Amino acid sequence: MTKTSTNLTEPDITVAFDYGGSLTKIIFAGKDRQVRLLCMEPEVVSVPRESILGYTRDQLGSADPQNTAWVAFRNDYRAVGYLAKQRFHANAGLSELKYERALHKTLAALWVIKEKQKLPGNFTVAIAALLPPGEYEDRSRFERVLREALADYQTPTGRMSVELLVFNCKPEGGGIYLMHNKKAGSGIKERVCAIAMLGYRNASLLVAQRGDVAPGKMSDLGFIRMVEKVLVKTSGQTAERLTPAIVTAGSEFKAAPLMRLARSTSREGRAEEVQQMLLAIKEARPEYVRSLTSWLDENLPPDCDELVFCGGTAAYFKKELNEYYDRLPIIWNADISIPVVLDKKGLGDRLSDVYGMFVYFKTVLKKQFNSKSYKSLESLSEGSQKQEVKAHG
């Protein structure tokens, strides 16, 4: 964690980022200390200056800022989120380094927050970020580039200059571990704990050996790998369309979510397409589970005392993972309960890591700025222990 100013005035915005491959999840609070959730599509794409300015000039209607976000740094114009996906046909960049796209996602999200909070173009911010273990070593580079870009960049409503007061980065799964560590207390120093973060893009593993967290392991075995197996055995589908349908179909392999993906003009043809997709899913699911558990087995310590699963992919395969690792005590999402008031989009367990990071980060800021106003944020995490949120894949 770094700080650039000796000024002990607390930041205008406190924010935590989870740059997920299927959704950018952002939890933030302003000076009013009300904690809010912001979600944006993961797409980012380079766009010619004339195209992006033309879009802004000719825009009709009054869309929410998260759906019209673009940023420019050093004359490099990028559409971000829904605008990048819908207008400029961007992809999620699953093969690219996450932190490189995270720069533009962060700039865009802060513009959205500025618009929603009605802030001026100049304000201060404290940022917590989660990066894949394989990119955690790049955190200093990410901070350096981010700090430079925040100082002067363009948005749909003009120039912004944001001072980064505090930057705190942890590997993915770090928010879960920090919450688990807080709940376990000194007992965590007496056992070996593994945190398995299973997301859309990748799977990662953090191991804490009697309180000492080793460098994380990462693979590309995210949920997208199962989706790709299904794509090979179906016609005319895309990962973007298939993913939510597969999740909704669940372990019961319900046909209804797949019906709207069928493209045939005849009833018989659509029914045949759905059966083809169901068969592909039924075959791909155990194949993927075997690949995933094989990787986990290879990287789990032999003396592992407990296994913490987290992430949307873990929730989807909860039945299989519980059965396969029945020899170990399993904890799901560090028993974190997301406050209902925060999870208005019903993301459930998918928010656990970024929520844990946000809760940890505000305690750090409370100490650093010696601010009583951060105490009002304590009620959110304390209240969440009394609220249960239904898990979603």
Q: Tens digits of per-residue pLDDT, 293-320?
A: 999 999 999 999 999 999 999 999 999 9
- What pLDDT, on a 0 to 100 scale, did the predictor assign at position 216? 86
Highest mean pLDDT among 1-15, 91-105, 222-236, 373-387: 222-236
> What is the full DSSP assignment across 327-381?
TS-EEEGGG----TTT-TT--GGGGHHHHHHHHHHHHHHHHHHT-GGGHHHHHHH
Q: For 203-213, what is the mean pLDDT?
A: 89
Q: How far apart are CA 225 and CA 216, in angstroms?
A: 21
pLDDT tops 70 at residue 1: no
pLDDT in tens, 142-193: 999 999 999 999 999 999 999 999 999 999 999 999 999 888 877 788 899 9
To the nearest whole percent, how much of the chain has pLDDT over 90? 73
- Strands 24-29 and 35-40: what pairing? antiparallel
Rg of the chain over Cα atoms, rounded to whole angstroms, equals: 21
Q: For 122-130, what is the mean pLDDT?
A: 98
Nearest C-alpha neighbor of 78 from the set 40, 113, 22, 116: 40
Q: How confident is the model at residue 391 (pLDDT cuts 50, 70, 90)?
A: very low
- Strands 158-171 and 122-131: what pairing? parallel
To the nearest whole percent, how much of the chain has pLDDT over 70? 92
- What pLDDT, on a 0 to 100 scale, did the predictor assign at position 6? 46
Domains of the chain: 2-171+337-384 (3.30.420.40), 188-335 (3.30.420.40)
pLDDT tops 90 at residue 380: no
pLDDT tops 90 at residue 379: no
Q: Using alpha carbons, list the distances in angstroms from residue 353 to 166, 195, 242.
A: 19, 11, 25
pLDDT in tens, 241-262: 999 999 999 999 999 999 999 9
